[in-house]
Structures are given as structure tokens and as C-alpha cells.
A and B are shown apart, each in its own frame.
Chain A
Amino acid sequence: MKIIAKIIKYFSYISFVFLIWVIVSIFIYTVYRSLGVIDLKFIFDSPRGMVLGEEGGIFPAIMGSIWFSFTALLFAFVPAMCASVYSVFYLKNNKVKRFISNVFENVAAIPSIIFGLFSYAVFVYMLGFGRCVLSGGIALALMIFPFLERKFEKSFLEVDKNLLIASYNLGIDIRKTFMKIVFPQCFKEIISSVILAFLFAMSATAPILFTGGVAFATVPDSMMKPAMALPLHLYLMIAQGSSQINRAYGVAAVSLIILFLFSTVAYCLSFKRDKKIDG
């Protein structure tokens, strides 16, 4: 048994070092391979070339990704906020509460491509929107809704119960208590969750694959237009066998840099003790 304990000890050291090595090397290697590719022209130009993306830049893809994610947030933020407020502060019936949270939990487990399928049938065809930012954005919204709802609910539940009780006892209604106490206290965390949800939507490809993402489009000027997206652009470059592999690394590096910057901001905003992992 002592030998096994030793093996487990060293195994745990090795796996920790291994994981950190994987994370660091993914970022550093991708950025390293894209050196010389990323410049202002790469970021602010449209893609060109025999295989799209071999020349030019990726500006429409960056803007398209932002359009998709904003649309997703637009449709997911208010419902997620309302659902979490309602189930935390108003809903008293435990059975209903459990049912609602079960549905949200299970929807969170549904593969994202299913939302793509749904949006394809309903928004692209049945309602006739066609492939556009709106159809793709709604698919993404369905995907990020449970994530946002759970994050909001968690941050609301962490507000000091005594404050709430004091506020109710002073005769202040739930709406005002929420606006004056809960919301300001959770504000940073809400922003941080929104940023994480934005990144989540930005990194997803499956839901927009046939609902709004296309191989080439200009920067969309309305939600009814199709758009490019960063990960989709990268996928198509590889699938079409682009000979300029460094440019593919460039696209990957841009999405990793965006991820890194935004995650850092989100992390700084919600930095606080997570009691669950404190020993």
C-alpha cells in the first residue's frame, strides 16, 4: 500500500505538470506559429485567395463572431435574468422550483448541435428567416441560456440572507430589494458571467454551422444577413486544404488571444473566495 501511495503521489505531480504544460503550450505554440502573419492588415482586411483565407485578412470573421455572440446575449440575457430572479426570490413552491431547475439542468446537457438543428428547422425554414445572424444567434442563445441562468442564480444566492430579511422587514418589496441590494452587490459577477457566456457563444461552431455561418460574407449590417465566424472560418480553411497553414494558425491565435484577454477581465471582476474549494 505504501508503494501505491508513492506511485499516486508522483503520478499526481506529473499529471499537474502535464496539464499546465498542455495549456501553456497550446497558447504559446499557436501564437508562435502565427508570428509574422498577424498584423493590422490581417485583422482589418477581408479574406481573399483561391482557397478563401490564403490572402487578405479576417475582419469579417471577427465582426461576424461578435454579431453572433451579441445576438445570442440579446436573446438570452433578459430571460436568464428573469428566470433566476423569479426562481430565487418569488418562487416558493419547492416542487415547481425543482421542476424548473431540472429542466434547465437537462437542457444544459443537450449537445449544442441539437440547438442548431432546431433553429435550422424553425427559424431558417418554417419562419423563413433563411441563414442569418438571427437564426444562428437564437441557436446560440438557447445554448448559453442555462449557463447564464445558473451563474446568476448562484450569485444571487450568495447575497447575505440577513440583508434581505432586514429589507423585507422594513416593508421594502422584492423588486426594490433586488434593485437596491442584490443587483449592485452582484453587478461585477453578472458582468463577468456575461463575458464568459459571450466567449462560450463565440467559440461554438456547431449551432451556427447551418443556421447562419457562411464561408464568405461582408460584415453584416443587420441581423437578417448571414455572417462569417472565426472558428467556422478556421474550420473551412482546414477542410478546403489551405496551403497557407500559418494563416490558419493566425486565425486560431486571434481567437485564443481574444479568449485570454476576455477571460482575464472576467476573472478579475469576479475574483473572490470560492468557499467550496478552500481547505
Chain B
Amino acid sequence: MNSITEKIFKYFTKALTYITLSMLLFVICYIIKEALPIFIEVNPKDFILGKEWMPIDFGFGTKFGILYFILGTLLVSFIAVVISMFISIGVSLFLTVNANNRVRRNVFPVIDLLSGIPSVVYGFIALELLSPLFFRFGVKTGNCVLLAAIVLSIMITPFMISSVTYTFVNLKNKYMVAIKSLGVDEWYGVTTIIIPKAMKKIILSLILANCRAMGETMAVMMVMGNAIVFPTILGKGESIASLIALEMGTAVRGSNHYYALYAAGLVLMVIVLIINIVLHAFSKEKE
């Protein structure tokens, strides 16, 4: 009796695990399947390196090139990660050196609130408060890549802070006694020993945060300007995710436009997955 329920329990969990696993792999395969038809029409190289995006034929033919979207995605997430790096290293140092365990445990949930705020709310507040500021400083319409990057950097900061603080606290536990017993100032020790030692792990978590930033849709879409141009810091740009979100509603199912949007999604997914897989392989090797 006992062993039968045990067996049922075991095979039930096993079955559901593998069903879910195959479902998740099916998602990846299905995106590839929906993207393939466009590559019959357009050479994959032209699709990725093409500069012109003209999905609907107005008599001049259609063009599918997503280079500017890729560059927009990379640029905005890169700037966001750089900004977030400074904030998160600063905050993590404060939490490591100045805060005791109790403060640290109570501050973390407050910082985590940031990651729960809907991205639309971020976009809305940025449009309301920061966009006029940029406009006053001479950015046309106020929306630009830098603004989107600032918003993104706040969104990914909680993730960065938690991983950077773990690294710092570990190093502090290892070296702080030695630093203090040598009579060296705490912050001098932090600058000369802890930060250089932590740099490798910080860079790893930066790249992971970069992956998250690349997939962010709504906030970026609302404040980046959405123009198909070569993205510059104070100019407009459009990310792959915003491209999909903006045009999917109007793309006729089965048209090249539709397939091209899936292909754009595929490119985004492949970039993220490659970075992720390489990174995990790299960090496992270290351990």
C-alpha cells in the first residue's frame, strides 16, 4: 500500500518534470519554426546586417533588416549596465562595510521592491519626470537612448546589488580581520583588496544583468523614441523587444512581416541564450 502511493508520487513528479522540460524546449523550437519562413525570402546575413526595415510593401518592395534594432538593444542595455554597476557597487559597499546583519536583512526587501514595480510604471514616471528634463537640455521630444538606459539601470539594480553584496560579504569575512589587525583603514582595505578581488564576479553578474536588460520591453519602448535610425546616446533608437511589441498587433498572420518579427524574437533569444550558456560554463569552470 505504502509503496504504491510512493511510486505514484514519484512517477507523477517525474512525469510533470519532463513534461514541463519538454514544454520549455518546445517554446524554443516553436519560435525557431515560426521564424524560418522569413529566411527563405531573406538571407539570414542580410536579415541581421540589413539596415532597412520596410515590412509593408508601399510599392517599393519590402525590406527586412534588423541591424539598427540589434544595435539599439545592445547600446541601451550596455549603458544601463554601466550605470547600474556604479550604483550597485556603491550600495553594496555601504551594505557590506557600514551595515550590520540586521540592517542588511531589512534593507534588502526594500531594494527588492524596485524589481516588483511594473515596467509600465517606470516608463510612465520617466516620461512624466525625466523626459521634460531631457527636453530642456535640448534632446528632441525628450525621449532618447540614455533616458531608457537610466530607467533600465534602476530596474536591474536590485538583481545587481544582491549578487554583488554576496560577493563583497564573502570577501569581507575572509579578509576584514586581517585588514583591521594590520591597523589599516577599512576603506583603504576595501579599495586595495576587496574591490579588485571581487571584480571578476562583478563582471559576470554584469553580463547576466545585461541579458535581463536586453529583454525588457515596456519601459524601454515608452521612453526610447522608437525610430529606426542608428542609435546614439542622445538620439532615438528602438530595441528588438519594442519592435515586436509595437508591430505584432498589426502584422498579418502568415505574412513575411509576421515571420520577420518572430525571427527578430529568435535573434534576441539566441543572443541572450548564448551569453547565458557561455557565462554559466565559464563560471562553473572557475568553481
Contact = CB atoms under 8 A, between A and B. Distances in A.
Interface string A25-42: 011011000000000000
Contacts of A200: 116
B277 A106 contact: yes
A10 to B, nearest CB: 9
A158 interface: no
Interface in A1-30: 1-2, 4-6, 8-9, 11-16, 18-20, 22-23, 26-27, 29-30
A12 B217 contact: no
Contact of A209 (B123, B124, B191, B248): B248
B154 to A, nearest CB: 6
Contact of B269 (A114, A178, A209): A114
Nearest to A18: B87
A16 B117 contact: no
Contacts of B191: 1, 4-5, 8
B25 interface: yes
Given A83-B20, A90-B13, A111-B272, A118 B30 contact: yes
Contacts of B276: 105-106, 109
**Secondary structure call for the B interface:** helix
A5 B244 CA distance: 46
Contacts of B12: 82
Interface string B7-19: 0011011101101
A113 B215 contact: yes
B31 interface: yes
Nearest to A260: B113
Contacts of B97: 12
A221 interface: no
B108 interface: yes
Contact of A279 (B9, B13, B172, B249): B172
B127 A121 contact: no
B216 interface: yes
Interface stretch (B43-51, B56-64, B135-143, B182-190): B182-190
A213 to B, nearest CB: 11
Contacts, number: 262
A12 B105 contact: no
Contacts of B195: 8
A244 interface: no
Contacts of A279: 96, 100-101, 104, 169, 172-173, 176
A256 B121 contact: yes
Interface residues of A, number: 89
A19 B241 contact: no
Contacts of A2: 185, 188
Given A110-B215, A145-B20, A23 B111 contact: yes
A173 B5 CA distance: 10
B202 to A, nearest CB: 14
Contacts of A273: 101, 105
Nearest to B127: A238
Contact of A12 (B94, B110, B241): B94
A259 to B, nearest CB: 5
A277 B166 contact: yes
Contacts of A113: 215, 217, 241, 244-245, 265
A142 B10 contact: no
A29 B248 CA distance: 34
A23 B2 CA distance: 53
Interface string B85-128: 01101110111111011001100111111101111110111011
A175 B117 contact: no
Interface in B230-287: 241, 244-245, 248-249, 253, 261-262, 265, 268-269, 272-273, 276-277, 280
B94 A16 contact: yes
Nearest to A118: B27
A122 B31 CA distance: 10
Given A15-B90, A29-B125, 11 more contacts: A5-B187, A13-B94, A16-B95, A103-B24, A109-B273, A145-B24, A173-B3, A206-B217, A235-B120, A263-B113, A273-B101
Q: Lowest 3 A-B CB distances belong to which pairs?
A: A111-B215, A15-B90, A203-B118
